[in-house]
A and B are shown apart, each in its own frame.
Chain A
């Protein structure tokens, strides 16, 4: 047990890594996931989206005020100062997705044009990125102004307040909307799923770094040589190191899942317990992949700095290519094909399927188990490569094997 204890001490002597990678990154995952489906109603109904917009009203007429009031109901009004930098910032950062400027005298000119049938003056609108949202608000602006225009054109003698009152009255009507439940519709539990999918980064970085660190400490030439002459068989030493690595992996998995459950456990109400267990099991099997990567790094004799860099960068790359940062559907087809060669894509798929399980039957569970199996195969393959590389390294001059003896001679 000496080697096992020593191995754990190595990891515990570097609390910065555990703190940064497991603690800090998991908390970041919670923060990011909390905003997923944030507006989703728990009863799965449809509600209209309110886009953040700003109206810069330089007119202050009855029309401009009632247009602003109407937009205050259909969209979310954000205060933006009538100042060039403030307006530029608001659209550039996406604080507002649509910015409408109502120039002085607009209300009067618009109603006048509507009454006489002349061409009405136009308003200047600015879209932020994601022009889909801007298009929606533009439709809403056009809808309201259309109602005002129609009223003023048909009743040219009516006063401004009565025109606006009639338009407002019509605008209070709305069409029937029915919500159709679809099997893949968004659920609050998606937040937990997303957290775990994103957690592929946390787990990869943390496990690769900790395991790589542990292994590399043992692989230092002098330590390695001392261990070789110690009265412990290579097998036993290897088993103790492996047990320590596995314990570290389990701990990282448990902390990652624990933080996730603490943050999003309440949203799992509608998910059957076996499905939750399946989700957690998928994460556990996935954690074996970084374990193998860390083992491999240890076997090739990577230093602490390399383990740190590889863990972090490999974590980012494989979690990204697996669709944990952004849905794979949004990526180019070549990237989607490439992602099939990365265990993370099977992992995110399995998590996504498991969280949406409503009934546990062989037909629904088997495909998920298949995905988990593929993840396990990735881990085994990487582990085998690590073993083979280790074997080659053992014979190298540096490790003091036969080649070393030859070099000395």
Chain B
């Protein structure tokens, strides 16, 4: 049996095209992700909002307002605005048109503050949020002023002590930031997890080829092996073990690349990640076995099926960008069963559980789901590979 294993290993490692999908592809794609995400996390992290302030006579007169703006623009940890000053509205508008600033803060002749921004760019884009932050800052001033005005009208005595008024309006931060998760939320890590999910499915190609090499009607090698002295069961077990070993090795290399070259954080649980990879490789082998054993289907079509299936399932694991990730999350929330039967999503979630949850229970659940799916796929493929009769060999 060991000889069959060795033989199968040799046959598979000599198929160089196999490694395009199972090894080169994840490495290439993760390199691409590395370039793509290098600035992504920084780009959506908070940066003071680039603001044009028109420092004309009206602005100087409105001291209460200008001191608020100046304070928000002061450099430091709680700096909210990155202020550029302009002498006239026209100059500020040129800067807005050129995209140098997000909005223009000015004061009208009657002393009311005014904000000018470019149109909505939609969603949660940095510029759009920058506009809304500016809007909020302006509202804070207007609302505080309105509050004082209404108090002055109803209860003037409340404003008798200017120090108290000043004290009432200045306050510390009402919130303190805490973390709920095992690791800080990072948008980009989930794409690497989804990539590992896709790579795992692509490794199905190994199992598929391995099975085709044992089927007498598909390859000459399969025909020779069928009449050999080793029992069918032994041949299959040894062949599948070889394809698992290769899938595992490919995924492990991809994982090591993502961990050490790309530098993706796995929350210090690398050992558990290797377990996840071993389970994912086992699933990949079972998927490949099922596709490979489909009777009366050519190898080219099987490859196409696997590619199509992998791409489709990866879509629902959120691999292809933010809209897909949102869709995947929505499905997971509203139809957890659908998400649980998508192996790409389950592999992705296994890494995700390791990263975000303190407890290892969710990870064990995901690994369990994968193992159950593996057993089911192997059982179905057993129906196809055993006791088949071929009209002609």
Interface set of A (CB-CB < 8 Å, partner B): 14, 16-17, 19-20, 24-25, 28, 31-32, 34-41, 44-49, 51, 74, 84-85, 87-89, 91-95, 97, 99-100, 117, 119-120, 122-136, 138-143, 145-147, 149-151, 153-155, 166-167, 169-171, 173-186, 303-306, 308-309, 312-313, 316-317, 320, 325-326, 330-332, 335
Given A132-B46, A185-B119, A305-B17, CB of A141 within 8 Å of CB of B174: yes
A326 to B187, CA, bound (A): 14
Given A38-B123, A186-B122, A303-B17, CB of A130 within 8 Å of CB of B168: no
Given A143-B139, A178-B116, A309-B21, CB of A330 within 8 Å of CB of B39: yes
* B147–A132 CB distance below 8 A: no
A167 to B305, CA, bound (A): 62
> Which of A17, A48, A135 is in CB contact (< 8 Å) with B46?
A135
* B174–A122 CB distance below 8 A: yes
**Which candidate, B127-135, B231-239, B366-374, is the interface stretch facing chain A?**
B127-135
From 136 to 171 in chain B, residues with beta carbon under 8 angstroms from any chain A beta carbon are 136-144, 146-147, 150-151, 155, 158-159, 164-165, 167-169, 171
* A313–B28 CB distance below 8 A: yes
Closest to B121 in A: A186
> Which of A17, A38, A119, A173 is in CB contact (< 8 Å) with B146?
A173
Interface of B is mostly: helix
Q: Which of B96, B138, B143 has the most CB of A within 10 A?
A: B143
* A133–B115 CB distance below 8 A: no
Q: Does B99 contact A (CB under 8 A)?
A: yes
Q: Which of B17, B169, B175 has the most CB of A within 10 A?
A: B175
* B186–A129 CB distance below 8 A: yes
Q: Which of B36, B172, B180 has the most CB of A within 10 A?
A: B180
Q: Does B342 contact A (CB under 8 A)?
A: no
Inter-chain contacts of B305 with A (CB < 8 A): 16
Inter-chain contacts of A171 with B (CB < 8 A): 143
Inter-chain contacts of A88 with B (CB < 8 A): 180-182, 356-357
Q: Which of B29, B44, B147 has the most CB of A within 10 A?
A: B147
Q: Does B25 contact A (CB under 8 A)?
A: yes
Shortest CB distance B66–A (Å): 15
Inter-chain contacts of A126 with B (CB < 8 A): 177-180
* A132–B126 CB distance below 8 A: yes
Given A35-B323, A129-B185, CB of A180 within 8 Å of CB of B122: no
Inter-chain contacts of A177 with B (CB < 8 A): 114-117, 135, 138
Shortest CB distance A406–B (Å): 28
* Number of cross-chain contacts by CB at 8 Å: 322
Q: Does B263 contact A (CB under 8 A)?
A: no
Closest to A174 in B: B139
* A143–B143 CB distance below 8 A: yes
* A91–B20 CB distance below 8 A: no
Inter-chain contacts of B97 with A (CB < 8 A): 180, 182-183
Given A182-B97, A186-B119, A308-B303, CB of A175 within 8 Å of CB of B144: no
A344 to B28, CA, bound (A): 18
Shortest CB distance B102–A (Å): 11
* A316–B32 CB distance below 8 A: yes
* B32–A320 CB distance below 8 A: yes
> Which of A17, A139, A153 is in CB contact (< 8 Å) with B140?
A139
Closest to B19 in A: A309
Shortest CB distance A129–B (Å): 4
* A32–B119 CB distance below 8 A: no
A276 to B312, CA, bound (A): 31
13 contacts between A and B (CB under 8 A): A17-B304, A20-B304, A40-B120, A74-B136, A99-B180, A120-B172, A123-B175, A124-B178, A132-B133, A136-B129, A167-B147, A309-B25, A313-B28
Q: Does B93 contact A (CB under 8 A)?
A: yes
> Which of A84, A141, A173, A320 is in CB contact (< 8 Å) with B142?
A173
Closest to A16 in B: B304
Closest to A75 in B: B132
Shortest CB distance B321–A (Å): 6
* A120–B115 CB distance below 8 A: no
* B308–A122 CB distance below 8 A: no
Q: Does B272 contact A (CB under 8 A)?
A: no
From 326 to 363 in chain B, residues with beta carbon under 8 angstroms from any chain A beta carbon are 326-327, 329, 333, 352, 355-357, 362
* A154–B129 CB distance below 8 A: no
Q: Does B91 contact A (CB under 8 A)?
A: no
Shortest CB distance B210–A (Å): 16
Shortest CB distance B135–A (Å): 5
Inter-chain contacts of B93 with A (CB < 8 A): 180
Q: 13 new A-B pairs (CB below 8 Å) besides A19-B308, A36-B122, A182-B97?
A: A14-B300, A16-B304, A16-B308, A28-B320, A46-B117, A46-B120, A51-B129, A122-B173, A129-B41, A133-B44, A171-B143, A309-B25, A330-B36
* B147–A150 CB distance below 8 A: yes
A36 to B323, CA, bound (A): 9
Q: Does B274 contact A (CB under 8 A)?
A: no
Q: Does B229 contact A (CB under 8 A)?
A: no
